[in-house]
Amino acid sequence: MKKTLTILLLSFSQFYFSQTIAEARNESIGQTVTINGVATNGGELGAIRYIQDATAALPAYGNNLSSIQRGDSVSVTGVIFEFSGLLELSPTTSYTILGQGTMPEPLLIPITSANEDLEAQLVRFDNVSFVQSGFFSNGSSTVQITDGTNTLDVRVNGSTNIDGSEIPSGPISIVGLVGQFNANYQLIPRDLEDIFPYVAPAKEINIKMDGNDVLNNGTYVIGNSSNTTITIENTGSESLSITGTYLSGTNSADFSTDLNPTSIAPLSSQEFSLNFNPSTTGSMFATLVIDNDDSDENPYVINLQAFGTDNLATEPNSNPEFLTFSSIEAYTFIGQYDNGDSESYLVLWKNGSPISEEPQDGMSYLRGDYIGDAKVAYVGSGTSLTPRGVIANQDYYFKVFAFNGSEGFQNYRTSDPAVAQVTSLGAQIGDYYNGISSASSTLLADLNSLINPHNYISYFLYKTTMMSQFEVKDTTNGQSYVTCCYSGENKVFNDPFDWSDNNYSREHTYAHSWMGTFPCNDPEQEEYADQHNLYPANLPNANSPRSNLPLEDITGDIVFNYLEGSVGYNANNQLVYEPRASHKGNAARAIFYMATCYTGNGGNNWAVPTNQNAASLVNWHFNDLPDNYEIARHEYIFNLQNNRNPYIDSVDYACYIDFSNMSYNPDGCGNMSVQEMLNKNFSVFPIPSSNKLFAQINGEKITAYELISSEGKKIEAERNLNLSVLELNTSLYVAGTYVLTVTSPNGVVQKKVIIE
């Protein structure tokens, strides 16, 4: 059975091969790409179409694809997106059916080869059996197949004719598409014809290199190993003849093998050796060709890559020359660079200052790793990137290095890298509030009409919207992290993110039980799913302890604490929850927004409940003003829901609404509207600083401060102060850009500072 993949496409004048699917898969999340290939499924799997060419496959998702049938030759344009681990085009913005294509032969592979390299491709497993017996469940379900040692999930889609049918017993062959859900790869059969009894072939060759399956026409990296074991397996019912073998290619003279003509009995294997003795430096290539009498895999070809006497690949001749940015927002942007003379690229970025760091030859780096103070934004063969963790009003610096070689053998070109800088946008309010006046007694009604109705996004899509596209950030070792809104915990995990695996939840800041329409999650209502109100939180240690407790400062005993979030008693001996200081204003503004957006919804008044002190929230609001993270988050949600939170855009709106009864307050905030005076009287000097940094607010005492690095790390913080002038010893800090936040009895101010 073939383990090679060939696709024949009809020739059309409008068929424009701008990018192979393999190239598209190497682009970063958020890029818009156009792919051309054959649809390997139709409507039997719903709104998704798996598109495959001779290099790879990529699913396209969208209700607009319903006319695409299995076998259609298509051109599809969409945005690279990751849905629970599955790389896909979503949304799919346009497509063209070019005619009838030629369906690819399913790629025959072992269960262990169902991985990212073959994701979305049409594959086949032989001589496997179902773990379960009886009948497939009605609707969608997941079962398993096994080869006797390994197992693999099989996802049965309820829209196929498989659900409800009898599960075959005994050895089977099964065809399907390689999918992924969270960390698990799976096979997705399209109909009952994809499952049939296994019939052993007469002769079937399979080859392993040092125990690793290598598919026909695949590549195996020898590295610098002097000896590699070649295992030739015959899974057929008759003897397999190896009739000849030879090495070819640029560096074939540096390879040798004892593999000679032989016969391999049915269901058995033989081992041979491949020797490598390099005569030069740099990247070395050869091709191993094995002639045999397997009817559809003769010859069996393996492309070999190795590295010479310096244990490094050949250095690229040039780096990309141009690095530009587009789609610049407060929360994201896209970087593009030209295709240099190399196999791969490493992109570094830094917030606040130019990059002096560079990668080291022979070192492997993953997205999120640090090289000095610079962070790896991307590693791969693509020529564009969308970095994760962008926030508003920041100066980001980038360098792009070309390199050749696989893990441990990389050779980076460090001279003349592509260099550029981009500044993320701030709040993009525009004329959104035209006609809205805080002096008008109709302010509440005017704001309510402005922000509701808006685009509705399901609560269950929060992972693919807020988490995947904004909250999740890179950290070292190729891992990711998300920050608990209440406790400040940075939860590190392996992609893709899963709520249950990480014990996290979507926290309703304005508690579900407070809502006038409670319960409003079955069926799900807009107020339950509003993304302005939802933040990620540690479920057992933050979300559950908070429950529906009022949010307020704890002045009495603490009864539960997890990092920066606590449950305890306020001045009135009332049990309350106090989140970390940097989230207090965010929480208050989320509650103000919900009360304003949904007041009157269901005929109910959405005032904060009587046990929640509205005045305390207003105090939090002014003492923790919107920072660049919150501004970026706000702009992203505006992009999704097409409505804004007025209390982030204009903090003084909170002065004119009594949130305890949702009425207009014509007197405003009185002495709370001193923010402009605080900003005017706040000074930090000298900038840049090399040894000492001083900060003061004329006429005010400093009661607390925080110094945050450009990467968002808390460098230093102190509370319960009573200072006229704050003095910091900056000789202790790494050079770079920081944000200094200072608290006084009447509010909070902050400034960007540079330390040399």
Condensed to tens digits (0 to 9), the pLDDT of residues 41-68 reads: 999 999 999 999 999 999 999 888 999 9
Q: What angle do CA 81, 639, 673 make, to 5 degrees?
A: 140
Neighbours of 747 (CB within 10 A): 23
Whether 404 and 448 map to the same domain: the answer is no
What pLDDT shows up at residue 668? 85
**273 pLDDT above the threshold of 90:** yes
Whether 95 and 131 map to the same domain: the answer is no
In the structure, what pLDDT confidence band is assigned to residue 5 with cuts at 50, 70 and 90? very low
Q: Of 226, 199, 232, nearest to 213 (Cα)?
A: 232
Question: Residue 53 is part of which domain span?
Answer: 21-100
Backbone phi, psi, residue 349, to 5°: -140, 155
- Give a yes or no: residue 9 inside a domain: no
Q: What is the mean pLDDT of residues 511-524?
A: 94
What pLDDT shows up at residue 712? 80
pLDDT > 70 fraction of the chain, expressed in percent and rounded: 96
| DSSP 8-state symbol, 389 | -
Amino acid at 505: S
- Give a yes or no: residue 568 inside a domain: yes
What pLDDT shows up at residue 754? 86
Strand, coil or helix: 35: strand
Residue 430: which residues within 8 A CB-CB, separation 6 or more? none
Residue 670 token pair: 């009185």
pLDDT digits (tens, 9 = 90+) for 353-378: 999 999 999 999 999 999 999 999 99
Handedness of CA 668, 672, 674, 679 (dihedral sign): negative
CATH of residue 744's domain is 2.60.40.1930
Whether 249 and 237 map to the same domain: the answer is yes
In the structure, what pLDDT confidence band is assigned to residue 674 with cuts at 50, 70 and 90? low
The secondary element (H helix, E strand) that includes residue 629 is helix 628-641
**183 pLDDT above the threshold of 50:** yes
Residue 609: which residues within 8 A CB-CB, separation 6 or more? 514, 550
Q: Residue 737 and residue 733: Cα distance in Å, rounded?
A: 10
HSE on the CB side for 370, CA within 13 Å? 6
Amino acid at 659: F
pLDDT digits (tens, 9 = 90+) for 691-716: 888 888 877 789 889 998 877 888 88
Whether 301 and 339 map to the same domain: the answer is no
Strand, coil or helix: 371: strand
- Give a yes or no: residue 436 inside a domain: no
379, 385 contact by CB (below 8 A): no
Whether 209 and 190 map to the same domain: the answer is no
- Give a yes or no: residue 500 inside a domain: yes
Domains in the chain, number: 6
Residue 20: which residues within 8 A CB-CB, separation 6 or more? 35, 53, 54, 55, 56
Whether 148 and 289 map to the same domain: the answer is no
Strand, coil or helix: 390: coil
What pLDDT shows up at residue 680? 66
Q: Of 232, 302, 301, nearest to 267 (Cα)?
A: 232
pLDDT digits (tens, 9 = 90+) for 215-240: 999 999 999 999 999 999 999 999 99
What pLDDT shows up at residue 675? 63
- Give a yes or no: residue 367 inside a domain: yes
pLDDT averaged over the chain? 92
pLDDT digits (tens, 9 = 90+) for 393-420: 999 999 999 999 999 999 999 999 999 9
Residue 701: which residues within 8 A CB-CB, separation 6 or more? 721, 722, 723, 724, 744, 745
pLDDT digits (tens, 9 = 90+) for 293-332: 999 899 999 999 999 999 999 999 999 989 999 999 999 9
**634 pLDDT above the threshold of 90:** yes
What pLDDT shows up at residue 670? 63
Pairing of strands 283-292, 240-248: antiparallel
**6 pLDDT above the threshold of 70:** no
Q: Of 444, 626, 446, nearest to 532 (Cα)?
A: 626
Whether 546 and 614 map to the same domain: the answer is yes
In the structure, what pLDDT confidence band is assigned to residue 83 with cuts at 50, 70 and 90? confident
| DSSP 8-state symbol, 622 | H
Backbone phi, psi, residue 65, to 5°: -100, 10
Residue 145 token pair: 């197949």
Residue 484 token pair: 């608990």
Strand, coil or helix: 99: strand
Using the 3D structure, point to which of 283, 307, 331 is the last residue of a domain.
Answer: 307
Amino acid at 466: M
Beta bridge partners of 398: 349, 420
Using the 3D structure, point to which of 197, 227, 260 is the last residue of a domain.
Answer: 197
Whether 391 and 452 map to the same domain: the answer is no
What pLDDT shows up at residue 563? 97
**651 pLDDT above the threshold of 50:** yes
**8 pLDDT above the threshold of 50:** no
- Give a yes or no: residue 659 inside a domain: yes
What pLDDT shows up at residue 1? 46
Q: Residue 625 and residue 189: Cα distance in Å, rounded?
A: 53
CATH of residue 302's domain is 2.60.40.10
Using the 3D structure, point to which of 423, 458, 482 is the last residue of a domain.
Answer: 423
Tell me the whole-structure pTM to 2 decimals: 0.79
Whether 649 and 513 map to the same domain: the answer is yes
644, 432 contact by CB (below 8 A): yes
In the structure, what pLDDT confidence band is assigned to residue 667 with cuts at 50, 70 and 90? confident
Report the Cα–Cα distance between both ends of the chain, in Å, rounded: 65
In the structure, what pLDDT confidence band is assigned to residue 3 with cuts at 50, 70 and 90? very low
Whether 224 and 270 map to the same domain: the answer is yes
Greatest Cα pair distance, the chain, in angstroms, is 96
What pLDDT shows up at residue 16? 35
What pLDDT shows up at residue 676? 61
Q: How many residues does the chain have?
A: 756
CATH of residue 72's domain is 2.40.50.200
Tell me the chain's radius of gyration from C-alpha atoms.
30
Strand, coil or helix: 442: coil
Q: Residue 139 and residue 162: Cα distance in Å, rounded?
A: 9
Q: What is the mean pLDDT of residues 13-31?
A: 70
What pLDDT shows up at residue 91? 83
Backbone phi, psi, residue 412, to 5°: -95, 140
Residue 4: which residues within 8 A CB-CB, separation 6 or more? 105, 107, 215, 216, 217, 297
What pLDDT shows up at residue 15? 34
Whether 554 and 569 map to the same domain: the answer is yes
What pLDDT shows up at residue 21? 94
- Give a yes or no: residue 12 inside a domain: no
Q: Of 338, 335, 344, nearest to 316 (Cα)?
A: 344
- Give a yes or no: residue 585 inside a domain: yes
Whether 499 and 626 map to the same domain: the answer is yes
**343 pLDDT above the threshold of 80:** yes
**678 pLDDT above the threshold of 80:** no
Q: Residue 92 and residue 69: Cα distance in Å, rounded?
A: 16
